[in-house]
Amino acid sequence: MRVMTWNLWWRFGPWEQRAAAIRQVIAAEAPDIVCLQEVWSLDGDSIASWLGAELGYHAAITDDPFAGRRPDGGAGFHNAILSREPLADVVSHPLPREDGSPGHRRALSARTVAAGLTWPVVSTHLDHRFDESAVRQVQADALLHVVAEVRGDPDHEPPTIVCGDFNAPPDSDEVRLLTGRRASRVRNLVLSDCWEQVGDGPGATWRSDNPYQSATAWPNRRLDYVFVSWPRPKPLGNPVRAHLAGIEPVDGVVPSDHAAVVVDLHT
């Protein structure tokens, strides 16, 4: 089963040309499940539903936390899940601010069928500022509670697939919390970092060779992840291969300011 996660950079830059390039990359990778971040919506349409219609996916997006608060009625900002099979039990979960109050970030959960099994899937996007590790730690803790809520029997049922732009490198406190390198309040739950297990090289998804980042103040970093929950019935959900996608221009256009992560999972 192939899983892909990608931050689509909303409607920034040459977004109409980028949409066509995004479509081509996803079509070439042919994932079964796609988790997306910075998904735009406008007038009842979205790039997620457009990609779904173009490529044969079912699509779901989060609610828009800024709906009704844009004076110009501008485009929405979402996470999304695309799946070859229908999506069920779709829930948009608000993630907290540092003080615990509901913030504008979201985790989108759903269930879908792949290889004859039902898989819980979560697509998320944590706060982005370089100095907001404390906020992301609170959000990572909330995310683990979401995973604990949606997963099935960890000893007998498929694990939960958790994807997104975490805006944090692997050695950060927030990612260490998710991967069991720090103590968590959620017992019997850790997320396995698929790139760490089977990826080749540093796997930077925020890259200085991306033309949209020519003036970035951030170093090359791995910010985007495909995780699989543990415990799980071995070898179900174990990563087999991982690679980056969307790095090269498509018809002269780089698709996004992030690289995509593509992972093949054992079914």
Q: How does pLDDT run across 193-222, given as a tens digit for each residue?
A: 999 999 999 999 999 999 999 888 888 999
Instruction: Give the residue carrying structure tokens 């900002």.
Output: 77
Residue 233 has pLDDT above 70, yes or no: yes
pTM given for the model:
0.97
pLDDT at 71: 59
The pLDDT score that the predictor gives to residue 73 is: 65
Q: Model confidence over 219-229: pLDDT tens digits? A: 899 999 999 99
Give the model's pLDDT for residue 217. 82
What are the structure tokens assigned to 39, written together?
């998904």
User: Looking at residues 4-31, what average pLDDT do you find?
Assistant: 98
- Residues with Cβ < 8 Å from 8, sequence gap 6 or more? 18, 22, 36, 37, 38, 39, 40, 47, 255, 256
* Chain mean pLDDT for the chain: 96
Q: Give the integer Cα–Cα distance in Å for 105 and 103.
A: 6
Domain spans of the chain, in order of start: 2-265
- 72 pLDDT above the threshold of 80: no
The conformation of residue 229, written as its DSSP 8-state character, comes to E
Residues 6+ apart with CB under 8 A from 223: 165, 166, 167, 168, 169, 205, 206, 258
CATH code reported for the domain at 2-265: 3.60.10.10
